Amino acid sequence: MAGTGQKQSSEGLLSKIKGLFSGGGGTSVGLSIGSSSIKLVELKKSGKSWRLESWGVVQLPTDALSHREIVNSIAVVDSLKALVGSLKLKSKQVCTALSGPSMMIKRLPLEVPNMKELQDQVFWEAENYIPFDQSDLVMDFEILSKSKDNRVDVMLVAAKRTVVDSFMGAISDSGLTPKIIDADFFALQNVYETNYPLSSGEAVALVDIGADGTKIVVLSDGVPVFTKDSALGGSTLTAEIQRQMGLSFEDAESLKVGGHGGMPQEVLDILRVGSENIATEIKSALNYYSASSVGAPLGPIYLSGGSSLVPGLQGIVEELTGRPVQYLNPFNSIAVDPAQFSEDYLRSIAPLAVVPLGLALRAGS
């Protein structure tokens, strides 16, 4: 996120670093560290166009992260080293992101008589919304809009310093250089705006369903007017298969991703109930947005994330929300060498690549 102010920040994170990022060889790297895997995308910019240079993913042990915080840094570092070693990166400088309970994003409408005091007012106002001591946080904000009557709309971002430091440390220990820390929500926005035409008549909902939770951002006129982070995700479905069938987590996960045709009916039934729970969470969040009247009327929903591929989930979301649902394609406007990445391969990795690709776009902006 390109910020306009900072407090208690570390090495410029979540701050005014936009434009200071310099990738090697004109490339930019996005790195997403999730609870089940690490994903990396390298892009090259030529004029206003982007080209996919590298893509990689490596699985993480189940104990590597908890509640989207690193708890086994050795496992993360070793996995990241293995991933980087398998790729020929032209740049070692990366943009990564945080999400979950360690990060808070809040849109604040303010009346600011003196713009020179905007930063102080934002951080003072933040005390009313953030349930943590500000000395333990990295904070930043961006101006979304301002009017002549001293009214300012800002997006406030705050993250726990310990979590920021743990991600920074793991990335540095792997041989990479962390240059920017952003938020997954804004990575989703970057991908949509790069690959799809903006519409002023309706808002769009971007929904990323990963192993560790579901992230929802509503864009209206190019502004993220609503965000929601839910703990319901793919791991929730796996845990339910594990509980009901008396399996280990690993065996339950294997059943969940074992393919549409080979799944036992019992597993399909469990997945349907779990998918309905996730869809209900999405519906509730979007109903809240629609009732708040902070943006244009809601239009289509775009899905991404590995767990969005759960059999039947797309149809259930469409049925419960009453809105058209499609998958967000991060490669719509990204040039690709067909000799390196086939269409079938791109189609298979697209849901996984959205967040890291959005971070790579951020790094090169």
Strands lying side by side in the sheet with 177-183: 177-183, 93-98, 27-33, 37-46, 49-59, 334-335
Helices (H) and strands (E) in the chain, counts: 9, 17
Shared domain check, 164 and 298: no
What average pLDDT does the segment 188-203 reach?
Answer: 91
DSSP SS3 for 75: helix
Residues 101 and 236 in one domain: no
Residues 37 and 170 in one domain: yes
Do 117 and 4 share a structural domain?
yes
Q: Measured at the alpha carbon of residue 96, what is the angle toward residues 9 and 104, in degrees to the nearest 5?
A: 55
**Residue 336's pLDDT is what?**
96
* 66 and 169 inside one domain: yes
More confident position, 144 or 274? 274
The DSSP-derived string for 146-203 is: E-TTSEEEEEEEEEEHHHHHHHHHHHHHTT-EEEEEEEHHHHHHHHHHHHS---SS-E
Q: For residue 303, give the amino acid letter.
A: L
Phi, psi of 232 (to 5 degrees): -80, 125
pTM assigned to the model: 0.89
Q: Is residue 136 over pLDDT 50?
A: yes
Residues 173, 63 within the same domain:
yes
What is each CA distance from 308 to 22, 128, 213, 264, 286, in whole angstroms? 33, 35, 11, 19, 17
The residue segments making up the domain with residue 63 are 1-196+332-365
Are the C-beta atoms of 353 and 53 separated by less than 8 Å?
A: no
Same domain (yes/no): 257, 146: no
- In the chain, the number of structural domains is 2
pLDDT in the model for residue 365: 78
Contact 235, 211 (CB under 8 A): yes
pLDDT of residue 207: 98
> Which is more confidently placed, 132 or 264?
264
Provide the percentage of residues in the chain whose pLDDT is more than 70. 92
pLDDT at 320 over 70: yes
**At a CB cut-off of 8 Å and minimum separation 6, what does 40 contact?**
29, 30, 31, 32, 54, 55, 56, 57, 83, 84, 87, 94, 356
Query: Tokens 């920021």 appear where?
Result: 164
Q: By percentage, how much of the chain surpasses pLDDT 90?
A: 65
Computed on alpha carbons and rounded to an integer, the radius of gyration of the chain in Å comes to 20
CATH of the domain at 310: 3.30.420.40
Kindly report the average pLDDT of the chain as a whole number.
89
246 phi and psi, to 5 degrees?
65, 40
Specify whether 135 is located in the same domain as 8.
Answer: yes
Output the pLDDT for position 204. 97
pLDDT for position 261: 53
**4 and 138: one domain?**
yes
Q: What is the pLDDT of residues 29-77, one digit of tens each?
A: 999 999 999 999 999 998 889 999 999 999 999 889 988 899 999 999 9
Q: Are residues 91 and 211 in the same domain?
A: no
Query: Is the same domain home to 83 and 205?
Result: no
pLDDT over threshold 80, residue 196: yes
The answer on 42 and 187 residing in a single domain is yes
